[in-house]
Structure 1
Amino acid sequence: MGKDATPKNWLSSVPYLSQPSFAPHVTKAQQESLRIRSPDLTAIIPSNFPRGPCPLVRIIPISDPSHPANGQAGLFAARHLEPGALILPYYGLIHSSLPPHSLTHDKSDYDLWLNKEAGVAVDAEKAGNEARFVNDYRGVRERPNAEFRQCWDVRSGQQCMAVFVLPAGKNTPMKAGACGIAKGTEILVSYGKGFWAKRREEHEETVGQDIQAYED
Protein backbone atom coordinates (compact mmCIF):
# COMPACT_ATOMS: atom_id res chain seq x y z
CA MET A 1 0.00 0.00 0.00
CA GLY A 2 1.27 3.48 -0.88
CA LYS A 3 1.74 6.46 1.41
CA ASP A 4 -1.63 7.87 0.30
CA ALA A 5 -3.57 4.67 1.10
CA THR A 6 -5.15 6.36 4.12
CA PRO A 7 -5.82 10.04 4.86
CA LYS A 8 -3.76 12.04 7.35
CA ASN A 9 -4.86 11.57 10.99
CA TRP A 10 -6.66 8.32 10.18
CA LEU A 11 -7.04 5.91 13.10
CA SER A 12 -4.65 2.99 12.64
CA SER A 13 -7.04 0.70 14.54
CA VAL A 14 -9.86 1.23 12.01
CA PRO A 15 -9.60 -0.30 8.49
CA TYR A 16 -9.95 2.34 5.77
CA LEU A 17 -12.55 1.60 3.09
CA SER A 18 -12.48 2.96 -0.45
CA GLN A 19 -15.55 0.98 -1.55
CA PRO A 20 -18.61 -0.71 0.01
CA SER A 21 -18.00 -3.67 2.32
CA PHE A 22 -20.67 -6.32 3.05
CA ALA A 23 -21.01 -8.39 6.21
CA PRO A 24 -21.11 -12.13 5.41
CA HIS A 25 -24.64 -12.49 6.77
CA VAL A 26 -26.20 -10.02 4.30
CA THR A 27 -28.57 -12.08 2.17
CA LYS A 28 -28.62 -12.15 -1.60
CA ALA A 29 -32.09 -10.57 -1.53
CA GLN A 30 -30.79 -7.70 0.61
CA GLN A 31 -27.87 -7.16 -1.73
CA GLU A 32 -30.20 -7.16 -4.72
CA SER A 33 -32.46 -4.59 -3.02
CA LEU A 34 -29.55 -2.15 -3.01
CA ARG A 35 -29.14 -2.54 -6.76
CA ILE A 36 -32.66 -1.24 -7.46
CA ARG A 37 -32.74 2.47 -8.21
CA SER A 38 -36.06 4.08 -7.37
CA PRO A 39 -37.22 7.10 -9.44
CA ASP A 40 -36.86 9.44 -6.45
CA LEU A 41 -33.20 8.55 -5.95
CA THR A 42 -31.91 11.51 -7.94
CA ALA A 43 -28.70 12.30 -6.05
CA ILE A 44 -25.72 10.42 -7.48
CA ILE A 45 -22.07 9.64 -6.97
CA PRO A 46 -20.74 10.01 -10.55
CA SER A 47 -18.59 7.43 -12.32
CA ASN A 48 -15.56 9.74 -12.26
CA PHE A 49 -15.68 10.37 -8.50
CA PRO A 50 -12.29 9.12 -7.22
CA ARG A 51 -11.93 6.34 -4.67
CA GLY A 52 -9.55 6.54 -1.74
CA PRO A 53 -8.66 9.58 0.39
CA CYS A 54 -10.91 12.50 -0.54
CA PRO A 55 -9.09 15.76 -1.50
CA LEU A 56 -12.14 17.82 -0.47
CA VAL A 57 -11.79 17.12 3.26
CA ARG A 58 -9.31 16.90 6.12
CA ILE A 59 -9.52 14.95 9.38
CA ILE A 60 -8.41 17.32 12.14
CA PRO A 61 -8.04 16.58 15.87
CA ILE A 62 -10.22 18.84 18.06
CA SER A 63 -8.63 20.53 21.08
CA ASP A 64 -11.33 23.05 21.94
CA PRO A 65 -12.74 22.43 25.46
CA SER A 66 -16.08 23.95 24.42
CA HIS A 67 -16.50 21.51 21.51
CA PRO A 68 -18.63 18.40 22.27
CA ALA A 69 -16.03 16.27 20.44
CA ASN A 70 -13.04 17.75 22.27
CA GLY A 71 -10.20 15.24 22.35
CA GLN A 72 -11.54 13.43 19.30
CA ALA A 73 -11.56 14.62 15.67
CA GLY A 74 -13.79 16.29 13.11
CA LEU A 75 -14.05 16.58 9.34
CA PHE A 76 -13.14 19.93 7.80
CA ALA A 77 -13.40 21.37 4.28
CA ALA A 78 -10.02 21.38 2.49
CA ARG A 79 -11.38 23.87 -0.05
CA HIS A 80 -14.56 25.84 -0.62
CA LEU A 81 -17.53 23.51 -1.11
CA GLU A 82 -20.47 24.72 -3.18
CA PRO A 83 -24.08 24.55 -1.92
CA GLY A 84 -25.68 21.17 -2.66
CA ALA A 85 -22.36 19.60 -3.71
CA LEU A 86 -21.41 15.98 -3.03
CA ILE A 87 -18.61 15.84 -0.47
CA LEU A 88 -17.96 12.10 -0.16
CA PRO A 89 -19.73 8.75 0.25
CA TYR A 90 -20.33 7.27 3.71
CA TYR A 91 -18.61 3.90 3.79
CA GLY A 92 -18.82 1.28 6.51
CA LEU A 93 -19.87 -2.32 7.01
CA ILE A 94 -23.16 -2.93 5.22
CA HIS A 95 -25.16 -5.24 7.48
CA SER A 96 -28.62 -6.58 8.19
CA SER A 97 -30.55 -4.44 10.65
CA LEU A 98 -32.77 -7.41 11.56
CA PRO A 99 -32.28 -9.54 14.70
CA PRO A 100 -29.96 -11.08 15.69
CA HIS A 101 -27.47 -9.10 13.58
CA SER A 102 -28.92 -5.74 14.63
CA LEU A 103 -27.80 -6.35 18.23
CA THR A 104 -24.15 -6.10 17.18
CA HIS A 105 -24.65 -2.55 15.91
CA ASP A 106 -27.37 -1.37 18.30
CA LYS A 107 -25.10 0.90 20.36
CA SER A 108 -22.94 2.16 17.52
CA ASP A 109 -22.78 5.94 16.98
CA TYR A 110 -21.82 5.37 13.33
CA ASP A 111 -24.78 3.29 12.12
CA LEU A 112 -27.08 4.72 9.41
CA TRP A 113 -30.04 3.28 7.57
CA LEU A 114 -29.15 2.40 3.99
CA ASN A 115 -32.41 0.75 2.96
CA LYS A 116 -34.90 0.56 5.82
CA GLU A 117 -37.49 -1.37 3.82
CA ALA A 118 -34.96 -4.12 3.07
CA GLY A 119 -33.56 -4.05 6.60
CA VAL A 120 -30.08 -2.92 5.57
CA ALA A 121 -27.85 -0.39 7.33
CA VAL A 122 -24.22 0.76 7.13
CA ASP A 123 -22.01 1.03 10.22
CA ALA A 124 -18.66 2.87 10.13
CA GLU A 125 -17.68 2.20 13.74
CA LYS A 126 -15.09 -0.49 13.01
CA ALA A 127 -14.31 0.25 9.34
CA GLY A 128 -15.07 3.22 7.13
CA ASN A 129 -13.78 6.34 5.41
CA GLU A 130 -13.42 10.03 6.29
CA ALA A 131 -17.20 10.47 6.52
CA ARG A 132 -17.21 8.68 9.89
CA PHE A 133 -15.61 11.80 11.40
CA VAL A 134 -18.55 14.09 10.59
CA ASN A 135 -19.86 15.54 13.85
CA ASP A 136 -23.30 16.77 14.85
CA TYR A 137 -23.79 20.54 14.76
CA ARG A 138 -25.26 20.80 18.26
CA GLY A 139 -22.95 22.67 20.60
CA VAL A 140 -20.74 23.80 17.70
CA ARG A 141 -22.82 26.13 15.56
CA GLU A 142 -26.42 27.26 15.23
CA ARG A 143 -27.28 25.06 12.24
CA PRO A 144 -25.77 22.19 10.22
CA ASN A 145 -24.02 22.99 6.95
CA ALA A 146 -24.19 19.47 5.50
CA GLU A 147 -26.49 16.45 5.46
CA PHE A 148 -26.54 12.70 4.99
CA ARG A 149 -28.39 11.85 1.81
CA GLN A 150 -29.27 8.52 0.23
CA CYS A 151 -28.00 8.44 -3.35
CA TRP A 152 -27.12 6.23 -6.28
CA ASP A 153 -23.47 5.23 -6.74
CA VAL A 154 -22.94 4.94 -10.48
CA ARG A 155 -19.54 3.30 -9.92
CA SER A 156 -20.89 0.30 -8.00
CA GLY A 157 -24.43 0.35 -9.36
CA GLN A 158 -26.12 0.39 -5.97
CA GLN A 159 -27.64 2.60 -3.31
CA CYS A 160 -25.26 4.45 -1.06
CA MET A 161 -25.30 6.97 1.77
CA ALA A 162 -23.22 10.13 1.26
CA VAL A 163 -22.50 13.53 2.75
CA PHE A 164 -23.65 16.59 0.80
CA VAL A 165 -23.34 20.32 1.41
CA LEU A 166 -26.76 21.69 2.33
CA PRO A 167 -28.47 23.39 -0.63
CA ALA A 168 -28.80 27.17 -0.41
CA GLY A 169 -31.67 28.09 1.88
CA LYS A 170 -32.17 24.66 3.47
CA ASN A 171 -32.17 24.87 7.28
CA THR A 172 -30.04 27.98 7.02
CA PRO A 173 -30.53 31.63 6.06
CA MET A 174 -30.38 32.13 2.30
CA LYS A 175 -27.39 34.44 2.55
CA ALA A 176 -25.39 31.92 4.57
CA GLY A 177 -26.56 28.92 2.56
CA ALA A 178 -25.50 30.54 -0.69
CA CYS A 179 -21.91 30.45 0.55
CA GLY A 180 -21.66 26.68 0.87
CA ILE A 181 -18.87 25.60 3.24
CA ALA A 182 -15.74 27.72 3.42
CA LYS A 183 -12.25 26.23 3.41
CA GLY A 184 -11.18 25.30 6.94
CA THR A 185 -14.76 25.10 8.25
CA GLU A 186 -15.92 22.01 10.11
CA ILE A 187 -18.46 19.92 8.18
CA LEU A 188 -21.45 19.39 10.47
CA VAL A 189 -24.71 17.48 10.04
CA SER A 190 -27.76 16.79 12.18
CA TYR A 191 -27.71 13.28 13.61
CA GLY A 192 -31.46 13.58 14.06
CA LYS A 193 -33.77 13.57 17.07
CA GLY A 194 -33.99 9.77 17.01
CA PHE A 195 -30.24 9.44 17.57
CA TRP A 196 -30.23 11.70 20.63
CA ALA A 197 -33.40 10.18 22.06
CA LYS A 198 -31.79 6.75 21.88
CA ARG A 199 -28.60 8.02 23.53
CA ARG A 200 -30.63 9.58 26.37
CA GLU A 201 -32.39 6.27 26.94
CA GLU A 202 -29.06 4.43 27.07
CA HIS A 203 -27.66 7.01 29.49
CA GLU A 204 -30.69 6.72 31.79
CA GLU A 205 -30.46 2.94 31.64
CA THR A 206 -26.76 3.05 32.58
CA VAL A 207 -27.40 5.46 35.45
CA GLY A 208 -30.21 3.23 36.70
CA GLN A 209 -27.95 0.18 36.63
CA ASP A 210 -25.23 2.06 38.53
CA ILE A 211 -27.72 3.13 41.22
CA GLN A 212 -29.06 -0.41 41.53
CA ALA A 213 -25.52 -1.80 41.85
CA TYR A 214 -24.74 0.76 44.56
CA GLU A 215 -27.90 -0.09 46.49
CA ASP A 216 -27.17 -3.81 46.23
Structure 2
Amino acid sequence: MGKDAIPKNWPPTVPYLSQPSFAPHITKTQLQALRVCSPDLTASIPANFPRGPCPLVRIILIGDPSHPARGQAGLFAARHLEPGTLIVPYYGIIHSSLPPHSLDHEKSDYDLWLNREVNIAVDAEKAGNEARFVNDYRGVRERPNAEFKLCWDARSGQQCTVAVAVFVLPSGKNAPTKAGAGGIAKGAEILVSYGKGFWSKRKEENEASVER
Protein backbone atom coordinates (compact mmCIF):
# COMPACT_ATOMS: atom_id res chain seq x y z
CA MET A 1 0.00 0.00 0.00
CA GLY A 2 1.47 3.33 -1.06
CA LYS A 3 1.59 6.51 0.96
CA ASP A 4 -1.30 7.94 -1.09
CA ALA A 5 -3.50 5.11 0.26
CA ILE A 6 -3.05 6.22 3.88
CA PRO A 7 -4.97 9.22 5.29
CA LYS A 8 -3.12 12.38 6.23
CA ASN A 9 -2.12 12.46 9.92
CA TRP A 10 -2.41 8.68 10.22
CA PRO A 11 -0.20 7.39 13.10
CA PRO A 12 2.82 5.54 11.66
CA THR A 13 2.75 2.85 14.36
CA VAL A 14 -0.82 1.69 13.58
CA PRO A 15 -1.47 -0.39 10.43
CA TYR A 16 -4.15 1.17 8.20
CA LEU A 17 -6.95 -1.19 7.15
CA SER A 18 -9.14 -0.92 4.05
CA GLN A 19 -11.07 -4.00 5.19
CA PRO A 20 -11.45 -5.94 8.45
CA SER A 21 -8.63 -8.11 9.78
CA PHE A 22 -9.53 -11.47 11.32
CA ALA A 23 -7.75 -12.89 14.35
CA PRO A 24 -6.53 -16.45 13.62
CA HIS A 25 -8.61 -17.90 16.46
CA ILE A 26 -11.97 -16.92 14.89
CA THR A 27 -13.95 -20.12 14.28
CA LYS A 28 -15.93 -21.21 11.23
CA THR A 29 -19.13 -20.93 13.26
CA GLN A 30 -18.34 -17.32 14.17
CA LEU A 31 -17.54 -16.46 10.54
CA GLN A 32 -20.80 -17.99 9.38
CA ALA A 33 -22.71 -15.95 11.97
CA LEU A 34 -21.28 -12.76 10.47
CA ARG A 35 -22.57 -13.75 7.04
CA VAL A 36 -26.18 -14.00 8.19
CA CYS A 37 -28.19 -10.84 7.53
CA SER A 38 -30.52 -10.19 10.46
CA PRO A 39 -33.81 -8.31 9.88
CA ASP A 40 -32.60 -5.97 12.63
CA LEU A 41 -29.88 -4.65 10.29
CA THR A 42 -31.72 -1.73 8.73
CA ALA A 43 -28.55 0.06 7.57
CA SER A 44 -26.10 -1.09 4.91
CA ILE A 45 -22.80 -0.29 3.22
CA PRO A 46 -23.57 -0.15 -0.54
CA ALA A 47 -21.77 -2.42 -2.98
CA ASN A 48 -20.15 0.60 -4.66
CA PHE A 49 -18.88 2.21 -1.43
CA PRO A 50 -15.10 2.71 -1.97
CA ARG A 51 -12.39 1.22 0.18
CA GLY A 52 -9.33 3.09 1.42
CA PRO A 53 -9.11 6.67 2.75
CA CYS A 54 -12.55 8.26 3.10
CA PRO A 55 -12.96 11.63 1.28
CA LEU A 56 -15.72 12.66 3.71
CA VAL A 57 -13.43 13.01 6.75
CA ARG A 58 -10.14 14.42 7.99
CA ILE A 59 -8.00 13.32 10.95
CA ILE A 60 -6.99 16.45 12.85
CA LEU A 61 -4.91 16.97 16.00
CA ILE A 62 -6.98 18.69 18.70
CA GLY A 63 -5.40 21.77 20.21
CA ASP A 64 -8.41 23.27 22.01
CA PRO A 65 -7.43 23.40 25.72
CA SER A 66 -11.05 22.82 26.78
CA HIS A 67 -11.45 19.65 24.71
CA PRO A 68 -11.32 16.38 26.72
CA ALA A 69 -9.12 14.85 23.99
CA ARG A 70 -6.67 17.76 23.74
CA GLY A 71 -3.34 16.59 22.31
CA GLN A 72 -4.99 13.62 20.64
CA ALA A 73 -6.66 13.35 17.24
CA GLY A 74 -10.32 13.62 16.26
CA LEU A 75 -12.34 12.98 13.13
CA PHE A 76 -13.75 16.01 11.30
CA ALA A 77 -16.12 16.45 8.37
CA ALA A 78 -14.37 17.37 5.11
CA ARG A 79 -17.72 18.59 3.67
CA HIS A 80 -21.28 19.06 4.88
CA LEU A 81 -22.74 15.65 5.73
CA GLU A 82 -26.49 15.22 5.40
CA PRO A 83 -28.58 13.51 8.12
CA GLY A 84 -28.42 9.73 7.92
CA THR A 85 -25.27 9.68 5.74
CA LEU A 86 -22.94 6.70 5.96
CA ILE A 87 -19.60 8.29 6.86
CA VAL A 88 -17.09 5.47 7.22
CA PRO A 89 -17.03 1.78 8.19
CA TYR A 90 -15.35 0.84 11.47
CA TYR A 91 -12.44 -1.49 10.71
CA GLY A 92 -10.22 -3.31 13.17
CA ILE A 93 -9.23 -6.78 14.30
CA ILE A 94 -12.25 -9.09 14.54
CA HIS A 95 -11.75 -11.33 17.56
CA SER A 96 -13.44 -13.58 20.08
CA SER A 97 -14.65 -11.88 23.26
CA LEU A 98 -14.18 -15.09 25.28
CA PRO A 99 -11.08 -15.89 27.39
CA PRO A 100 -8.24 -16.29 26.75
CA HIS A 101 -8.53 -14.20 23.55
CA SER A 102 -10.52 -11.43 25.25
CA LEU A 103 -7.61 -10.70 27.58
CA ASP A 104 -5.75 -8.94 24.74
CA HIS A 105 -8.64 -6.53 24.28
CA GLU A 106 -10.21 -5.99 27.71
CA LYS A 107 -8.42 -2.65 28.29
CA SER A 108 -8.93 -1.33 24.76
CA ASP A 109 -10.96 1.86 24.24
CA TYR A 110 -11.55 0.88 20.60
CA ASP A 111 -13.43 -2.41 21.03
CA LEU A 112 -17.02 -2.70 19.72
CA TRP A 113 -19.47 -5.60 19.61
CA LEU A 114 -20.27 -7.27 16.28
CA ASN A 115 -22.30 -10.24 17.51
CA ARG A 116 -22.90 -10.88 21.21
CA GLU A 117 -24.59 -14.25 20.62
CA VAL A 118 -21.40 -15.80 19.23
CA ASN A 119 -19.04 -13.51 21.17
CA ILE A 120 -17.41 -11.55 18.34
CA ALA A 121 -16.09 -8.00 18.61
CA VAL A 122 -13.95 -5.66 16.50
CA ASP A 123 -11.01 -3.79 18.04
CA ALA A 124 -9.31 -0.86 16.26
CA GLU A 125 -6.67 -0.18 18.90
CA LYS A 126 -3.75 -1.86 17.09
CA ALA A 127 -5.03 -1.63 13.50
CA GLY A 128 -7.94 0.21 11.96
CA ASN A 129 -9.15 3.05 9.76
CA GLU A 130 -10.37 6.64 10.22
CA ALA A 131 -13.34 5.56 12.34
CA ARG A 132 -11.02 4.81 15.28
CA PHE A 133 -10.58 8.57 15.76
CA VAL A 134 -14.25 9.33 16.46
CA ASN A 135 -14.49 10.89 19.92
CA ASP A 136 -17.30 10.94 22.46
CA TYR A 137 -19.46 14.08 22.52
CA ARG A 138 -19.23 14.63 26.29
CA GLY A 139 -17.44 17.86 27.12
CA VAL A 140 -17.48 18.94 23.46
CA ARG A 141 -21.09 19.59 22.50
CA GLU A 142 -24.54 19.14 24.01
CA ARG A 143 -25.25 15.88 22.22
CA PRO A 144 -23.72 13.61 19.56
CA ASN A 145 -24.07 14.29 15.84
CA ALA A 146 -23.22 10.74 14.69
CA GLU A 147 -23.65 7.14 15.82
CA PHE A 148 -22.16 3.67 15.56
CA LYS A 149 -24.56 1.27 13.84
CA LEU A 150 -24.45 -2.42 13.03
CA CYS A 151 -25.04 -2.78 9.32
CA TRP A 152 -24.90 -5.14 6.35
CA ASP A 153 -21.84 -4.83 4.11
CA ALA A 154 -23.02 -5.50 0.56
CA ARG A 155 -19.64 -5.16 -1.16
CA SER A 156 -18.57 -8.14 -3.23
CA GLY A 157 -15.61 -10.13 -1.94
CA GLN A 158 -16.18 -8.94 1.61
CA GLN A 159 -15.59 -11.94 3.87
CA CYS A 160 -17.30 -10.29 6.83
CA THR A 161 -20.80 -9.16 5.91
CA VAL A 162 -21.94 -7.81 9.26
CA ALA A 163 -20.03 -4.65 10.15
CA VAL A 164 -20.07 -1.54 12.31
CA ALA A 165 -20.08 1.87 10.62
CA VAL A 166 -20.34 5.53 11.59
CA PHE A 167 -23.48 7.32 10.38
CA VAL A 168 -24.68 10.92 10.72
CA LEU A 169 -27.62 11.00 13.10
CA PRO A 170 -30.97 11.28 11.31
CA SER A 171 -33.00 14.50 11.32
CA GLY A 172 -34.55 15.27 14.67
CA LYS A 173 -31.81 13.58 16.70
CA ASN A 174 -29.10 16.17 16.11
CA ALA A 175 -29.09 19.90 16.76
CA PRO A 176 -28.93 21.92 13.50
CA THR A 177 -25.47 23.09 12.47
CA LYS A 178 -26.86 26.18 10.74
CA ALA A 179 -30.25 27.82 10.30
CA GLY A 180 -32.69 25.30 8.85
CA ALA A 181 -30.06 22.59 8.31
CA GLY A 182 -29.18 19.36 10.07
CA GLY A 183 -26.37 16.91 9.59
CA ILE A 184 -22.74 17.79 10.28
CA ALA A 185 -21.20 21.02 8.97
CA LYS A 186 -17.93 21.07 7.06
CA GLY A 187 -15.07 21.39 9.53
CA ALA A 188 -17.14 20.17 12.50
CA GLU A 189 -15.95 17.30 14.65
CA ILE A 190 -17.78 14.01 14.22
CA LEU A 191 -18.92 12.89 17.68
CA VAL A 192 -20.77 9.83 18.95
CA SER A 193 -21.91 8.54 22.32
CA TYR A 194 -19.63 5.79 23.62
CA GLY A 195 -22.48 4.66 25.86
CA LYS A 196 -22.90 4.14 29.59
CA GLY A 197 -21.10 0.79 29.48
CA PHE A 198 -17.88 2.41 28.24
CA TRP A 199 -17.87 5.08 30.95
CA SER A 200 -18.80 2.63 33.70
CA LYS A 201 -15.86 0.45 32.71
CA ARG A 202 -13.55 3.48 32.61
CA LYS A 203 -14.71 4.51 36.11
CA GLU A 204 -14.07 1.00 37.47
CA GLU A 205 -10.57 0.95 35.96
CA ASN A 206 -9.76 4.38 37.44
CA GLU A 207 -11.01 3.34 40.88
CA ALA A 208 -8.96 0.12 40.71
CA SER A 209 -5.89 2.12 39.77
CA VAL A 210 -6.34 4.46 42.73
CA GLU A 211 -6.75 1.51 45.12
CA ARG A 212 -3.40 0.08 44.02
TM-score past 0.5 threshold = yes
CA contact (8 A) 1:61 1:72 kept: yes
Match in the other structure for 1:5: 5
CA contact (8 A) 1:153 1:160 kept: yes
Match in the other structure for 1:198: 201
Q: Which amino acid aligns with 1:48?
A: N
Larger Rg: 1
Q: Which amino acid aligns with 1:124?
A: A
Match in the other structure for 1:165: 168
CA contact (8 A) 1:10 1:59 kept: yes
Q: Which amino acid aligns with 2:187?
A: G
TM-score (norm 2): 0.95
Q: Which amino acid aligns with 1:158?
A: T
The 2-side partners of 1:134 and 1:93 are apart by 17
CA contact (8 A) 2:75 2:189 kept: yes
Shift of 1:174: 7.0
CA contact (8 A) 1:168 1:178 kept: no
CA contact (8 A) 2:177 2:183 kept: no
Aligned alpha-carbon RMSD (Å) = 1.4
**Which moved further from structure 2: 174-183 or 148-157?**
174-183
Q: How many residues align?
A: 208
The 1-side partners of 2:10 and 2:167 are apart by 21
The 1-side partners of 2:42 and 2:123 are apart by 23
Unaligned runs of 5+ in 2: none
TM-score (norm 1): 0.93
* 2:3 aligned counterpart, secondary structure: coil
Structure 2 CA distance for partners of 1:107 and 1:148, relative to 1, 3 Å? same
Match in the other structure for 1:212: none
Match in the other structure for 1:92: 92
Identity %: 76
Q: Is 1:189 aligned to 2:192, yes or no?
A: yes
Q: State the Cα deviation string for residues 166-201 of structure 1 (Å, max 9, x = none).
A: 00112x357879510000000000000110000000
The partner residue of 1:180 within 164, 178, 183 is 183
CA contact (8 A) 1:169 1:178 kept: no
